[in-house]
Chain A
Amino acid sequence: MTEPPRSWRSVLPHLGYELPADRTPDGTDGPVTVGLPLELVRQSVSSREYWPIPEPVAQLYRAWRPAPLWRARRFEAEVGATVPIYAKYEGGNISGSHKFTTALAQAYYYHRAGFRELVTGTGAGQWGSALAAACAAFGMACTVFMVGRSLRDKPYRGSLMRLYGAELHASPSPLTALGRATDERLDNSLAVAIGEAVEYARGDAKRAFCIGSGETYSILHQSLIGLESIDQLAGLGATVDTVVGCVGAGSNFGGVALPFFAAARAGELDVPAALVAAESSASPKLTRGVYAYDHTDATGSGPMEAMYTIGSRYPIPASHSAGLRFHGAAKLISAMRHHGQISATAVGQREALSAGRAFATTELVLPAPESGHALAAAARIASGREPGHTPRHGVLVCVSGHGLLDLPAYDKLLAGLPEDRPADPEALRAATAALPAVSSIEGF
């Protein structure tokens, strides 16, 4: 395979149901404005299956796509796998992660719509780096609010964003009312960083807030990961019956896994694959959250989406440094979880970073800590240690990015990083108690 696919593939026509509509929170009505390119709206709601990739975006994709896929034999041996493990590596671009794939597409559409500055919030910094580089590619300004603790841990993520001309703020920042009102000690919240970005973006009509990973259109753009994988596995004469990706909001998992779902529904695969989302046990929305309408940010002014969530104000432990912080799963991923079309497992940060280290020493690629969660889950599944999963053919795991800018997290592992303590059931209950359940509203 030498060329990336020419179209993205949507899973929406294959779901068998419509996604629950978003809701506008009470008391936040204002003037009616259009802050999102219509093409991204179309990609989120239309039943069209294939979406041609605009040529300016396709041209940029060719710099690193198709992304490599290989059988990770030494990793298999290290973890005691009884079936083959195939790794799809998404770290080979300037941002170092899969997020560049949708960042380029989004920047293109926003630019075409007339916006000249994109504003976003970022946790570990991968999305911020990706958007900064994408904005530079299309001649746009970029402002990033990065989770403060994460920026202190990963200063070179900030350097990368600044290198591409982005204006960078540690969140909570003094720049916004939300930041000023937030206790400085709450510097580990992606919901606050996103909330600051939402507030800041309102200040100029040519400026737009760009949420990044969890939206349905982001997952569509990431379908390239799975589409390429299907072709590459066929080229190797290989079959997988399990696909694993990590979940912050869900674009990496959705990108690698959902094309397998669409292909199976369309009768294109001989063996359907179980789709397994690997999340952080510090932010266990899919395994311990509730299916409810929740805010995507901490200001509460953005739309409420139907999602598996632990609550936008749930405090992620300060000791957590392995990414995947977001409090909710994308509404597409959440709906598929609700309908039993995907499954999920939670991984602690020590296990994730240990799996990342094992992959680095065996396959000579240093994975991002986020990818370590997927690798840990894949290792469990391929070696028969994950209840409910007994693959017979093989496991595909997406290595969502490289960890070269995440070395402090690996330093902590080497220094004896403690495992995350499981989320406190009472804190989870408190953070979600007031959220309206999806089923009670939609009959979903």
Chain B
Amino acid sequence: MTDHKRVNGAVKRLLVRESRLSIDPDTVPDDEPLDGELLRVNSLGFLGMLVRLEDELDVTLDDDIFAGRVFTTVADVVDAVLDAAKETT
């Protein structure tokens, strides 16, 4: 099941881990920049994170949703994952 709440929670958990923070993921706003004052996510770490997200949500994310797309905020990632999950379920 890939509802918004579950995807949002999983994405924030992994973004917090990727940024090496020890904060409650639920406190991260949806419009928080991926590479800003709080989160520190780069393109390289992001790729690994997407693969871990697949395991966590038990989905396969299709490449064509992600390739060449620019991600700025947490919400961008959540939306793309929901789009990709829709394609594969």
Contacts and interface: CB of A to CB of B under 8 A. Distances in A.
Nearest to B71: A32
A34 B48 contact: no
Contact of B72 (A31, A41, A206, A303): A31
A42 interface: yes
Nearest to B76: A32
B67 A32 contact: no
Contact of A33 (B50, B64, B70): B70
B63 A114 contact: yes
A38 interface: yes
B47 A38 contact: yes
A42 B60 CA distance: 11
Contacts of A29: 35, 40, 42
Contact of A24 (B42, B68, B70): B42
B68 A206 contact: yes
Given A38-B51, A41-B48, A115 B68 contact: yes
Given A22-B44, A303-B44, A33 B71 contact: yes
Contacts of A180: none
Nearest to B72: A31
A38 B50 CA distance: 8
A39 interface: yes
B67 A42 contact: no
Interface in A249-288: none
Given A22-B44, A24-B44, A38-B61, A31 B71 contact: yes
A38 B63 contact: yes
Size bracket, chain A contacts: 20 to 34
A407 interface: no
A109 interface: yes
Contacts of A37: 63, 67
Interface in A345-375: none
Interface in A32-60: 32-39, 41-42, 45-46
B43 interface: yes
B79 to A, nearest CB: 14
A41 B64 CA distance: 14
A122 B55 CA distance: 36
* Listed residue (B41, B50, B66, B72) with the most chain A CB atoms within 10 angstroms of its CB: B66
B67 A41 contact: no
Given A24-B42, A29-B35, A32-B35, A113 B51 contact: no
Nearest to B46: A32
Given A29-B35, A206-B68, A34 B45 contact: no
B69 interface: yes
B47 A36 contact: yes
Contact of A45 (B46, B51, B67, B68): B51
Contacts of A205: 68-70
A392 interface: no
Nearest to B63: A113
A109 B63 contact: yes
B34 to A, nearest CB: 5
A35 B43 contact: yes
Nearest to B47: A41
In the A-B complex, the 5 residue pairs with the closest CB atoms: A113-B63, A205-B68, A113-B67, A34-B66, A32-B71
Given A29-B40, A114-B67, 7 more contacts: A30-B35, A32-B43, A32-B46, A34-B47, A35-B67, A41-B47, A41-B50
23 contacts: A21-B48, A24-B43, A24-B45, A31-B70, A31-B71, A31-B72, A33-B68, A33-B69, A34-B47, A34-B63, A35-B67, A36-B47, A41-B47, A41-B50, A41-B51, A112-B63, A112-B64, A113-B66, A113-B67, A115-B67, A115-B68, A208-B67, A208-B68
